Amino acid sequence: MLQTLDVALGLSFIFFLFSVLVSTVSEMCLSWSNARGKMLWKAVAHLLPDAGHGKTVEPLKDFVRHPLLAGMHRHTSADASVAKHFPSYLSSGQFGQVLMDMLETKGTGEQAETRWEQVQNGITQMPADTRDSLQALSRDAERNLLPGQEPAGVFQFLAGQWFDAMMDRTTGWYKRLTQVWNFGLGLVLAVACNLNVIAITKALSTNDELRVAFVQKAEASVKAQSELAAKLGVEQSKGARAVFDEAVTELSDAGFPVGWNKTTAKAWATHPISTFFESLLGWLMAGAAAALGAQFWFDLMKKIINMRGTGARPDSGQNVPLGEAGMAAGPIPPAGLIIDGTESRQ
């Protein structure tokens, strides 16, 4: 049982280092292509559609061209090219502010005496799909109106909630995109480094000294990390790259076909077909591991270390302030009671 946990801990440590490298490269590529901005463009297009359907839908041109929003992407047009430079973040307050100003400006007229009438007039001038959504939102604002509240203020608040709900959905889109990128980049880097998961598993299972060394490295890594793996910076990723290269070198020096060297060349020359399929499966497994992310493997390492009984001991409270130590120790029983629940004798 302990050997199995050690093998799992060693694999998790390697996958953690590998995922840090892949995540760093993936985030650089996604940032360069402004993937977050394109996702936000897509979200606004779903909330306020102007033209097109499905994947070709475009957001409301008046919304994108609004001065408060156009200043973020520096484009006066509202075609698909703006998505390449669209801001990567927009708060619900900014969304509601731009939406309200756009509707009030469009709804200004002689028949609109109040702000709410201007908003309603502006809604009627929107494209069909956008108009239906905003009219439903305006009816909801009138139904939820409390004494002393203005319907325009409630409408803006509900519009912010509507936007936040779409942002939750957009987060799921971006997460799936990141996983696809991590898998693709992980597969490429696994082939480049010849990171054969099957060979690594065999090495950790049969070589006691190698397994102990990787277990110690994993424990030291968990102990040294004070932040979550998702918050690792570029400098820390460089450190992970050095440790990862060292780990691959140790596996290669132990005689296992990992990395591209004489040992690997010999294995491919001796058994080319079996080595190819074994390596292909190992590379795919490495790509799948990278898709799970560094945070997943970091958390798994901590759980395995706790299962092995080598986790951090709970704080004894010696260096904790008196109030915090008292809370950590549990609630103090009321006066007149003892541990077994019977009343004490006065």
Q: Mean pLDDT score of the chain, rounded to an integer?
A: 79
Q: pLDDT band for 176, please (50, 70, 90 cuts).
A: very high
Give the closest residue to 38 by CA, choosing from 152, 174, 187, 233.
Answer: 174
Name the more confident of 74 and 193: 193
d(CA 48, CA 16): 41
pLDDT at 183 exceeding the cut of 90 = yes
Q: What is the mean pLDDT of residues 316-345?
A: 41
Output the pLDDT for position 234: 43
Name the more confident of 27 and 232: 27
Residue found by looking up tokens 């990787």 in the block? 214
Name the more confident of 177 and 330: 177
**What is the number of other CB atoms lying within 10 angstroms of the CB of residue 179?**
16
**Which string of b and e fits 79-105 if b means at least 16 CB within 10 Å?**
eeebbeebeeebebebbbbbbbebbbe
pLDDT at 36 exceeding the cut of 80 = yes
Output the pLDDT for position 239: 62
Output the pLDDT for position 25: 87
| Residue 197 · residue 273 · CB < 8 Å | no
Q: Which of 6-10, 55-59, 126-130, 260-264 has the lowest mean pLDDT?
A: 55-59
Q: pLDDT band for 110, please (50, 70, 90 cuts).
A: low
Output the pLDDT for position 154: 92
Q: Which of 70-79, 96-105, 123-132, 209-218 has the lowest mean pLDDT?
A: 70-79
pLDDT at 289 exceeding the cut of 50 = yes
| Residue 118 · residue 112 · CB < 8 Å | yes
pLDDT at 185 exceeding the cut of 90 = yes
Q: pLDDT band for 129, please (50, 70, 90 cuts).
A: confident
Output the pLDDT for position 28: 87
Give the closest residue to 86 by CA, choosing from 57, 56, 64.
Answer: 64
Output the pLDDT for position 81: 67
Q: Name the DSSP class of 332.
A: P
Output the pLDDT for position 240: 65
Q: pLDDT band for 324, please (50, 70, 90 cuts).
A: very low
pLDDT at 178 exceeding the cut of 70 = yes
Q: Which of 264-273, 279-288, 307-316 has the lowest mean pLDDT?
A: 307-316
Q: What is the mean pLDDT of residues 9-36?
A: 88
pLDDT at 344 exceeding the cut of 60 = no
